[in-house]
């Protein structure tokens, strides 16, 4: 009898990323929210104060989740924060003109829980400024929490609690697992592979004169939004890079 491969649990596939956090208490509160919902991987990108993981306020607000802080990492770039990630979700109350597809926390959670091959990251920005456009544009989805439109203000830890609750419920319910096993699914492309493809594609478009490098307008953000909707696989990224390579080779070939 054939043994079915065990799908890794979402609890082991989800990473929480905090970008340029200003308040140590918020880091501790997010760690507490993570442990309460059963998640453990925390990465900080350039926190705006020294000793973020050992800060007295962070430890106090963690309230029993000090092990999350102890196991967390501090990095200096988004590339490091998203290393190995194949599905990045930016959390923002502010919608963007060229954002990736917008989902509720529940929609995002159900998708990543059902797709057992995805290594997912949920990204939260600075308490005051949120996430910059360049980070949002490189993500697969933008999570918008459907709060009261007359007062939609959530602090960082509250937003994290809402998103992680939905991720926990999706992981426990296993919603969509049957659908995810229908048909062939290749390996999801990593953020590093996708960013390399965008760079390669941009070079090819410049080479053929379709994109003006000195006045690019909004072509690349639009293309990123288009591809974000597709859920790119590694082989698809390789195909697109092969097309870009052939475009540049053809352009370099001397005319007969």
- Token reading at 5: 């491969």
Phi/psi at 92 (5° precision): -155, 140
Length of the chain (residues): 256
Angle at 114 between CA 112 and CA 116, to 5 degrees: 75
Angle at 231 between CA 229 and CA 232, to 5 degrees: 120
The helix (H) or strand (E) run that includes residue 207 is helix 191-207
**Whole-structure pTM value:** 0.74
pLDDT in tens, the chain (256 residues): 334 444 578 999 999 999 999 999 999 999 999 999 999 999 999 999 999 999 999 999 999 999 999 999 999 999 999 999 999 999 998 887 778 999 999 999 999 999 888 999 999 999 999 999 999 999 999 999 998 988 888 999 999 999 999 999 999 986 444 344 445 567 888 889 888 888 898 888 988 888 888 887 888 888 888 888 777 888 888 998 999 888 888 877 766 5
What is the reported pLDDT for 141?
94
What is the reported pLDDT for 178?
37
Dist. CA 26–CA 68, nearest whole Å: 13
Phi/psi at 69 (5° precision): -65, -40
| Cα-Cα-Cα-Cα dihedral sign, residues 194, 199, 203, 206 | positive
What is the reported pLDDT for 230?
77
Residue of 157, 29, 13, 155 lying closest to 89 (CA atoms): 13
What is the reported pLDDT for 252?
75
What is the reported pLDDT for 1?
35
């Amino acid at each position: 009898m054939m043994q079915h491969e065990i799908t890794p649990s979402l609890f082991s596939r989800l990473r929480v990323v905090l970008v340029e956090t200003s308040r140590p208490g918020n880091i501790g509160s997010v760690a507490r929210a993570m442990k309460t919902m059963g998640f453990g991987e925390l990465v900080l990108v350039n926190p705006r104060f020294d000793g973020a993981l050992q800060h007295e306020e962070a430890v106090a607000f963690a309230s029993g989740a000090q092990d999350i802080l102890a196991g967390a990492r501090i990095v200096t770039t988004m590339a490091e924060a998203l290393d190995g990630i194949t599905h990045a979700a930016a959390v923002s109350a502010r919608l963007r003109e060229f954002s990736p597809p917008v989902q509720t926390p529940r929609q995002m959670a159900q998708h990543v829980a059902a797709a057992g091959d995805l290594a997912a990251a949920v990204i939260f920005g600075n308490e005051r400024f949120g996430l910059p456009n360049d980070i949002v544009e490189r993500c697969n989805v933008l999570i918008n929490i459907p709060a009261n439109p007359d007062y939609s203000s959530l602090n960082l830890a509250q937003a994290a609690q809402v998103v992680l609750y939905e991720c926990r419920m999706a992981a426990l319910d296993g919603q969509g697992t049957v659908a995810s096993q229908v048909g062939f699914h290749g390996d999801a492309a990593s953020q590093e592979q996708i960013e390399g493809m965008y760079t390669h594609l941009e070079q090819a478009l410049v080479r053929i004169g379709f994109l003006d490098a000195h006045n690019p307008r909004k072509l690349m953000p639009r293309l990123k939004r288009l591809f974000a909707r597709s859920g790119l696989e590694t082989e698809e990224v390789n195909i697109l890079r092969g097309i870009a390579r052939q475009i540049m080779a053809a352009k370099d070939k001397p005319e007969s």
